[in-house]
Structure 1
Amino acid sequence: MTVQSLTEEGLRNLGPYVATMAEIEGLDAHKRAVTLRLKDIEARQPFQTK
């Protein structure tokens, strides 16, 4: 089994692409998990620019 992990910065950078890939592959739960994690990061850092 392959397991991968990302730092918070890595998730900010790759998360949108991961969500898109998950959507294309029909992996709705994976897309939702990434989307929720990204929203959590944004909520904790509301004034950080992208």
Structure 2
Amino acid sequence: MTKIEAIKPGPKPKKEDGTPDKRRRVTPEVQPKHPDLKPHKHKPGDQK
């Protein structure tokens, strides 16, 4: 039987020189490039 492992959240990886890897972060100076999610619209008669 194959063992299934979940993806574990954890600290961001650090580069070889010890500084944090910034590729996965949205910093304040680049925040305008990342718009917020659009509001979700439900169809008429949908309960959720």
Q: Is the radius of gyration larger for structure 1 or structure 2?
A: 2
TM-score, with length taken from structure 2: 0.21
TM-score, structure 1 length as denominator?
A: 0.21
Give the structure with the larger helix fraction: 1
